[in-house]
A = this chain, B = another copy of it.
Amino acid sequence: MALLPVILSGGIGARLWPLSREAWPKPFIRLPDGQTLLEKCLNRLAALPDIHDFLTVTNERYLFPSREVHSQSSARHLQGHFLLEPEGRNTAPAICLAALWAIERDADATLLVLPADHYIDDARSWAADIQRAQVLAQSGQLVTFGIPPKAPATGFGYIHAKAVEQGQFEVVDFTEKPNLEIAQSFLEAGDYFWNSGMFCFRAEAILSALEALAQDVYSPVKEVWDNIRVDQLTTHLDPELYAGVASRSIDYAVMEKASNVSMIAASFDWSDVGDWASVSDLIDPDMEGNQISSDQVLAIETSGSFIQADGRVVAAIGIDDLLIVDTPDALLVARRDRAQLVGQVVDHLKASKSSAYLEHKSLVRPWGSFTVLGEGAGFKVKKLTLKPGASISLQYHHHRSEHWVVVQGKAMVLNDQTQQLIEANQSTFIAPKAIHRVSNPGHEECIIVEVQVGSYLGEDDIVRLEDRYGRPLGQA
């Protein structure tokens, strides 16, 4: 029986700002242990038997970082397929698309739906729970995973469920995020569970349920599906059609209404890593109750605080129960028990059009990455890092000149029809409108310091003529 993991990788994780950004969201941020949540999610797949491929539903812009993480995970032997959303429409349309994708290849497919950005420590218990879910799913059940609650959390949905046999439950009903009093009563009652967002069902079963219970999702998604563009391992959706799909959670669209819903009570440790307080819960505190992962942090008379530095010295004096998260362009200082308000910062930044909600100073690209080192009136300085064998697109700029100094490795530069190998400590000049491309012919990273000069220096002054990574051609 083929089990197809479907990774839903959609959320930004605004409450993990300033580490999460719209252009670099929660699945990609590095936890204090150095791993990303997506990497952990993919690594867990290796604990499942008989898996050969998986499907990721994500935004178009996360394709390359997702592939990058996949290629470095323990799941790199699995074939990774991508279903690329132009924009997020919540879980029901994503799951409906995944089911349509799966059933086309295997009428008997069973889906295992996994959020990309949850933390699960014990892959073996997790895999055992999934095997039990799979058996239920094959009997036609829509299986959800409930997490035995540890606290009266008000940020989760709850599943009320009655035990049928060991670890397997019949669902009574669902409750959206309750208030504290109700959450407390759920915790005490003992038969309420946190809704984990993990599911297991046959593709055919969830499609039947969607068709019966959520026509406003099913019909437009079918139309989207009839107009997909398939490009090797990626499936692209029509943006206009997809914009017309109702934004619905699978819970609301199906699980709360269907009669064939079962629950598995999770036997593994789980966290949604929803805010900095829950990130800090992943780290053992030191003698003073501090969670500090860098030797750039100096803590004096400080206790109960989570402090994450990034390239700068952070001195904390006389503070208690704070979360301090430092990044090159933005800093968060929050009381631990107010961590859930971080989303308000992102809303503010978005409203004030600050780029600090959207992007980091360092951005990952298919060919490597770049970091803005500095900028001023009429100039911008970047550090470009090209992976071995990588190549930026063939392109030109209308408004800016570029001075490139290779400071490490070698660069093969095509510049206005002339091809030239530029070695470390050599430089070249790209005039406005000159068609150019740089690639790294070597086996080590190539680092280039780029000094842009011009009256307009926006990232969108780029006309792509060819791109080996399949990015859109023409004016950005």
* CB <8 Å contact, A318 and B331: no
Residues of B near A376 (CB, < 8 A) are 383, 407-408, 447
Q: Are B453 and A405 neighbours in the complex by a CB distance under 8 Å?
A: yes
Judged by a CB distance under 8 angstroms, whether A314 is at the interface is yes
Contact with B along A292-335 (1 / 0, CB 8 A): 00000010110000000000111111110010101011111111
Known: A322-B319, A338-B317. A408 touches B379 (CB 8 A): yes
Q: How far is the CA of A300 from the CA of B345 in the complex (A)?
A: 8
B313 touching A408, Cβ below 8 Å: no
Contact B405 A451 (CB under 8 A): yes
- Given known A-B contacts A318-B337, A447-B379, A407 and B342 have beta carbons under 8 A apart: no
Q: How far, in whole Å, are A339 and B334 apart by their CA atoms in the complex?
A: 19
Stretch of A96-104, A190-198, A421-429 on the interface side: A421-429
Which residue, of A337, A379, A401, has the highest number of chain B Cβ atoms within 10 A? A379
Q: Are B317 and A331 in contact (CB under 8 A)?
A: no
Interface residues of A in 366-387 (CB under 8 A from B): 371, 373-374, 376-379, 381, 383
Contact among B345, B429, B449 for A317, CB-based, below 8 A: B345
Q: How far is the CA of A354 from the CA of B298 in the complex (A)?
A: 12
Number of copies: 2
What CA separation (Å) do A301 and B339 show in the bound complex? 12
Is A356 part of the contact surface with B, judged by Cβ < 8 Å?
A: yes
A contacts with B: majority SS: strand
Does A344 interact with chain B (Cβ within 8 Å)? yes
Cβ–Cβ contact B315 & A335, under 8 A: no
Give the bracket for the number of chain A residues in contact with chain B.
35 or more
With A314-B331, A341-B301 as given contacts, are A373 and B381 in contact (CB-CB < 8 Å)? yes
* Interface presence of A77 (CB below 8 A): no
Complex A-B: 14 CB contacts under 8 Å: A300-B344, A314-B331, A315-B333, A317-B332, A317-B333, A317-B334, A319-B335, A324-B333, A326-B331, A376-B383, A379-B408, A381-B383, A424-B453, A451-B451
Report B-chain residues with C-beta under 8 Å of the C-beta of A379. Answer: 407-408, 447, 449
| Known contacts A315-B332, A332-B315, A453-B424; is-contact A381 B381 (Cβ 8 Å) | yes
A349 at the interface (CB under 8 A from B): yes
Nearest residue, chain B, Cβ from A297: B331
A5 in the interface, Cβ–Cβ < 8 Å? Answer: no
Is A348 at the interface (CB under 8 A from chain B)? yes
Chain B residues with CB under 8 Å of A427's CB are: 403, 427, 429, 451
Check if A115 is an interface residue, CB within 8 A of chain B. Answer: no
A149 CB within 8 Å of chain B: no
Considering the chains assembled together, what is the distance between the CA atoms of A454 and B102 in angstroms?
Answer: 55
Please name all residues of chain B whose beta carbon is closer than 8 Å to the beta carbon of A342 when the two chains form the complex. 315, 317
Write out the residue numbers on chain B whose beta carbons fall within 8 Å of the beta carbon of A318. Answer: 334-335, 337-338, 341
A407 contacts which of B348, B354, B451 (Cβ < 8 Å)?
B451
Q: Residues of B contacting A383 with CB < 8 Å? A: 374, 376, 381
User: Which B residues are CB-close (under 8 A) to A93?
Assistant: none
In the bound complex, residues from chain B placing their C-beta under 8 Å from that of A344 are 300, 317
Query: A374-B373, A408-B379 are contacts. A425–B449 as well, Cβ < 8 Å?
Result: no
